Chain A
Amino acid sequence: MSQNRTRTDSPTEYDAVTYVWRMSAPAPSNSLAVEVSGVSRTFGRRRAVDAVDLSLNAGECLALFGPNGAGKTTLLRVIAGLLKATTGTVRVGGRSLRNDPEARGQLGLISHQSMLYRALTARENVEFAARMYGVPDPRSAAMRALERIRIADRADAPVRALSRGLQQRVSIARAIVHEPTVVLLDEPYTGLDAAGGAALTDMLRLLRGHGASLILVTHNVEEGLAVATHAAVMLGGRIVRRDDVASLDHAAFPAAYRSMVVDASDQSANRTVSVSA
């Protein structure tokens, strides 16, 4: 039991994580987990992602900030292999996900859409995912994942009977049941209450501690910086700013970010006015 213990800030956090986590030793922190080189993605004439380069080592977390339409979700879907990059390459653990089903087993995806089946119970949804990833003893693994995100007491409730926030917790359990090494999170805090948000933050820290790499897309600067090791700002399909969170001025960054977003929005509005004029 003691070997599974991790640093936590309160007894509640400790209870939530220790008796369920059975991951192996942390991965070396200098191994490249995600490598995105010159990735662009266009939809018709619109360039949603424009020549993005980024890399992430094992155990690192990148918080990707940006306003609506900045291309964050598109970039995440390209990294997940759900969208084909128009140009550039994406490698996860040194392999391309699109044509390598086994490599996809290293990935966990959490989206603002739950990706759950409403007629099935929370446990059945997570167990189905565990079976799809070949997790041994999928039923126990599903229960462990639900305990991890503090929703085990609603395991046998149909997903349609759960609130939006509880559905999001089940969705998180579904995404981590196979203990992925790379987790992509698209607005994972959407709909979560304070307890759910805290459980998610704990879990993300724990995943990182065990060597998983995370890419967290969010509008919320405070939540993003709470777990991230690196921060980036995306505007108009490009990454326009990168920071190391350890050396970042946490007090000044939110204001600087808001000012970047407002400036970009003003420029976009001016372009629209001049085109229509």
Chain B
Amino acid sequence: MSNHRPPGTFSSAWLLARKDLAIEFRTRTAFLSALVFAVLALTIFYFTWDESVVSPNDRAPGVLWVVLTFSALLGLHRSFGLEEHDRGIDALLVAPISRESIYLGKAIGNLIFLSAIQVVAIPSLALFYNLPVGRPLFIVSGIVFLAMVGIVAIGTLFSAMAVNTRLAELLLPMLSLPFFVPVLMNAAQAGSRIFAGRPVAEVMPWLRILIAFDIVFVFACTLAFPFTLEE
């Protein structure tokens, strides 16, 4: 009877990502809360620093990473929460797709979601902190994207682990933040030098380490994910 050819790992991952984005597009709950958080945090940081003591160029990178990290956590938390409500995860687990494709689909959806937050947050940062627009901002956006790959890889895995616990909101940041450190450290170092007007060649060592962490985290988390689904 049923002799259909199921989609491959990347096709099913993309199907899953599209489904998550369609749900987010309809509800906009996580996007709006992450966006409002990002803009509010930028505003509060703007008013809490004395410009005569610390220049906007010096504080902008720190503000950027704090805002992006915590708005990312808001988005990541919702990722597997979507599947828990009516046990949609059970339908995915009995479907003829690999466990890895579920992880990759969730991660792709999260990456697109966080990129959409960046599209608003980074120009807002430039506006609040009077940063140079154009090439430096474009390069910083690229660095942020690379950092988001690592953050999403780790955060998606821990979101799956934390979702069934009573303290999911607390557990996700507690588990994820220590693993974010190597990603954020390299991205922040590279970003602050670009904001200070240094050439791209000078930040390449940090970018190489950042890319290496991204690759390691994506592979390690994809392989580890099926074990988080064992009951």
- Once the chains are docked, how many angstroms separate the CA of A80 from the CA of B94? 7
Q: Which residue of A84, A97, A111, A181 contacts B90 across the interface (Cβ within 8 Å)?
A: A111
- Report the interface size class on chain A: 35 or more
Distance to closest chain B CB from A8 (angstroms): 20
Q: Known contacts being A84-B231, A129-B95, A133-B95, is A117 close to B19, with CB within 8 Å?
A: yes
Question: Using a Cβ–Cβ cut-off of 8 Å, how many residues does chain B contribute to the interface with A?
Answer: 29
Distance to closest chain A CB from B181 (angstroms): 34
- Once the chains are docked, how many angstroms separate the CA of A181 from the CA of B96? 14
Flag whether A6 is at the interface (Cβ < 8 A): no
Contact across chains for B91 and A120 when beta carbons are under 8 A apart = no
Contact across chains for B2 and A178 when beta carbons are under 8 A apart = yes
Flag whether B166 is at the interface (Cβ < 8 A): no
Contact across chains for B26 and A120 when beta carbons are under 8 A apart = yes
Contact across chains for B26 and A180 when beta carbons are under 8 A apart = no
Distance to closest chain A CB from B8 (angstroms): 10
Q: Known contacts being A134-B4, A134-B96, A179-B2, is A113 close to B87, with CB within 8 Å?
A: yes
Contact across chains for B2 and A105 when beta carbons are under 8 A apart = yes
Chain B residues with CB under 8 Å of A111's CB are 87, 90
- Once the chains are docked, how many angstroms separate the CA of A24 from the CA of B2? 9
Chain B residues with CB under 8 Å of A102's CB are 6, 96
Q: Known contacts being A81-B94, A109-B94, is A101 close to B6, with CB within 8 Å?
A: yes
Flag whether B97 is at the interface (Cβ < 8 A): yes
Q: Known contacts being A111-B87, A113-B87, A124-B22, is A101 close to B93, with CB within 8 Å?
A: no
Contact across chains for B6 and A120 when beta carbons are under 8 A apart = no
A16-37 CB contacts (< 8 Å) to partner B: 23-24, 27
Distance to closest chain B CB from A128 (angstroms): 5
Flag whether B57 is at the interface (Cβ < 8 A): no
Flag whether B139 is at the interface (Cβ < 8 A): no
Chain B residues with CB under 8 Å of A179's CB are 1-2
Contact across chains for B87 and A81 when beta carbons are under 8 A apart = no
Contact across chains for A120 and B4 when beta carbons are under 8 A apart = no
**A 175-195 to B, binary, CB cutoff 8 A, 1 in contact else 0:** 000111100000000000000
What are 16 A-B pairs at a CB distance below 8 A? A81-B94, A82-B93, A82-B94, A115-B88, A117-B82, A119-B23, A119-B26, A120-B23, A120-B26, A129-B95, A132-B95, A132-B97, A133-B96, A134-B5, A178-B2, A179-B1
Other than A83-B231, A97-B94, A103-B96, give 11 A-B pairs with Cβ distance below 8 A.
Answer: A105-B95, A106-B2, A111-B87, A111-B90, A115-B90, A129-B95, A132-B7, A133-B4, A134-B6, A136-B4, A178-B4
